[in-house]
Chains A and B, each alone.
Chain A
Amino acid sequence: MEDIKFLDDDFQLVGDKQDITKDVVSPAKPAWKDALGRFCKNKGAVIGCAVILIITLLAIFAPMFSSWKFDAIDTSMKNIGPCAKHWFGTDTYGRDLWVRIWTGTRYSLFIAVVAIFIDVVVGITYGLISGYFGGMVDSVLQRIQEIINSIPTLVVLTLLLMVMKSSLFTIILALSFTEWIGMSRITRAQVLKVKEDEFVLASRTLGASDFFIIFKEILPNIYSQMIIMVMMSIPNAIFYEAYLSFVGLGLPIPLASLGTLINDGFNSFLVYPYMMMIPVVIFSLLMLSFNLFGDGLRDALDPTMKEM
């Protein structure tokens, strides 16, 4: 072994450089701006958001600027494939499908929005009250919910059919009767979990009102589950509407929705595949975008997600 000798200039003092502990002073920003920033970084979510926007705009404006009417039957030009005149072709009655599909999307989107609204307003409120206040309130609310839930949907529908004509309003009524129950259950379970946490107790020792605790402490912590539930209830609602049409409770005949268009297209799928393919593609695009958007929203609202 060689002898190793250290020279004077082999080592030198680092001094007190403190590069490691340098702290980044992040500018004061309200939390929602952070969330917006996180959302914009998520490519999938932004694309989803854009696709939803484009489809919505098309659903609103496409029928307005077309020379065709969604319910104008013209048997002289039925079953035409997609061409320059009829971009999506025509159906078995000779109605222009471009207009029909976008009008249908309009109704489907409307039903989806109503579903979200019912979920959020009825479901979440019901679950929050039931879970947060507990005790007697919880018992009563839960029993009411169980009774409603125990009536089969089909029975409700037939009863509704007896007193009402099929219209958009009937669909909304049928939706509002059953759709919120799953949501309120999940909300209640989440509230029960969060409300015993120490930060809620801390809020209470500071004198926070129930209102403050529910909206500022509990709700932000259960967002993610809520968003997932809402996103799942959208396709449910759209299909539910198609199912209602099937039973005879859906939209009255000349009107169309994506669900009924897919149903109609299915009848002649082997001969004229485009009649079903196009609404299915639009429907899938919509679902995919809603899911991407929902995931992005959930991640954006959760500051504990890994920051990239």
Chain B
Amino acid sequence: MEEKQPILEVKNLKQYFKISRKFTVKAVDGVSFKIMPGETYGLVGESGSGKSTTGRSIIRLYKPTDGQIIFNGQDISGKMSKQEISMLRTKMQMIFQDPMACLNPRKKVMDIVAEGLDIHHSYSSQKEREQKVYDILELVGLSKEHANRYPHQFSGGQRQRIGIARALIMNPDLIIADEAISALDVSIQAQVVNLMKKIQKDFNTSFLFIAHDLSMVKYISDHIGVLHLGHLVETGTTEEIFSNPIHPYTKSLLSAIPVPNPHVEKTRKSLTYDHDQSDVDYTVGTEHHVGGTHYVLATDEEFEKWTKQ
């Protein structure tokens, strides 16, 4: 049998922002990972670690400085042909962080959701357009009568559903959820995450799930990548990362998750990891194979030291 092709393959992605002649911000510095069809890849890390930038580079809101992005077997990191652009813009979609800001306040839900259809002219009559919007609204748990309202008339959770509907209407193979749930309260987070899971089951859509809430990432992701200062310090399946974290940064992240058991929680110690004092240099580290799909970024000595502990 032929080996399954990854839907998205990111190889050594680099995204630098030139601030002035002397100063360049290296937001993402050599990140590589793969996403299989129907899987969810969780990208975690602290604020400013380059998670969102990675997502935006992949969907080509920025022009990557270096590296390769292969989506659906086509390289989309350089200049794209018209066909490739149209493939990328329909088959890869994004859900945004702030449900208030990601919907145009002057447009009706109908027009917001149908925007992708309008741009790519993928309907033959006004009736078909309406029907498509109604169907997709139903799918995300809204109803027909919501189509004629404006975004400000909805709650945060409903707005996020509209955002999801807008992404879904193009039948994407990959959805980048850029902290899609961090602006919602916890009960609504669960609703939205379950909705994403349902969509994944029904349509075999892949997700790149960018978040800083580890317990949510654990719940939804098949694979996890831990990002720190633009470097992917550790990656593997959810099981591998959570049961056997190698990198001290991953360890400190995992130790910060509160445990829903008061006896354990009382004695839980959160490890601190201070990059400046730990003299770990990400630029000299290489990928070390731990087992399965589990890789960690370290030098040989560091790897030995961390695995011994």
Contact residue range for chain A? 20 to 34
- A198 in contact with B150 (CB, 8 Å): no
Query: Is B4 on the interface with A (CB-CB < 8 A)?
Result: no
The answer to whether B111 and A208 have CB atoms under 8 Å apart is: no
For the complex, is A221 an interface residue (Cβ under 8 Å from B)? yes
Given contacts A202-B94, A303-B150, is CB(A217)–CB(B104) below 8 Å? Answer: yes
A5 at interface, CB cutoff 8 A? no
Given contact pairs A198-B98, A303-B150, A207 touches B86 in the complex (Cβ within 8 A): yes
Q: Check B145 against A26 for contact (C-beta < 8 Å).
A: yes
Assess the A198–B105 pair: CB atoms within 8 A: no
Q: How far is the CA of A221 from the CA of B105 in the complex (A)?
A: 8
User: Which residues in window 249-308 of A have CB below 8 A to B?
Assistant: 301-304
Residues of A within 8 A of B1 (CB): none
Closest to A29 in B: B148
Contacts of B116 in A (CB 8 A): 206-207
| A205 vs chain B, min Cβ distance (A) | 5
Asked whether any CB of chain B lies closer than 8 Å to the CB of A23, the reply is yes
Q: How far is the CA of A23 from the CA of B158 in the complex (A)?
A: 15
The reply on A36 being an interface residue by CB < 8 A is no
Interface residues on B, range: 35 or more
Q: Is B93 an interface residue (CB 8 A)?
A: yes
**Bound Cα distance from A15 to B86, whole angstroms:** 54
Given A198-B102, A203-B115, A25 contacting B107 (CB threshold 8 A)? no
Among B105, B111, B119, B120, which residue has its beta carbon within 8 angstroms of that of A31? Answer: B111
Residues of B within 8 A of A87 (CB): none
Cα A208 to Cα B152 with chains together (Å): 23
B22 CB–A CB distance under 8 Å: no
With A201-B61, A207-B86, A221-B105 known to touch, is A25 a contact of B145 (CB < 8 Å)? Answer: yes
- Given A197-B101, A199-B101, is A206 in contact with B145 using a C-beta cutoff of 8 Å? no
* Chain B neighbourhood of A154, CB < 8 A: none
Shortest C-beta distance, B18 to chain A (Å), equals 12
Query: Hey, what's the 0/1 contact readout for A10-42 against B, CB within 8 Å counting as 1?
Result: 000000000000011111110100000000000
Bound Cα distance A221, B101 (Å): 12
Which 9 A-B residue pairings sit nearest by Cβ, starting from the closest?
Answer: A207-B89, A220-B106, A198-B102, A198-B101, A25-B145, A199-B104, A303-B150, A206-B116, A205-B94
Report which B residues bind A (CB closer than 8 A): 56, 59, 61, 85-86, 88-90, 92-94, 96-98, 101-108, 110-111, 115-116, 119-120, 130, 143-145, 147-150, 152, 163, 166, 170
Given known contacts A29-B148, A206-B115, what 5 new A-B pairs fall within 8 Å (CB)? A26-B148, A28-B130, A28-B147, A201-B96, A223-B106
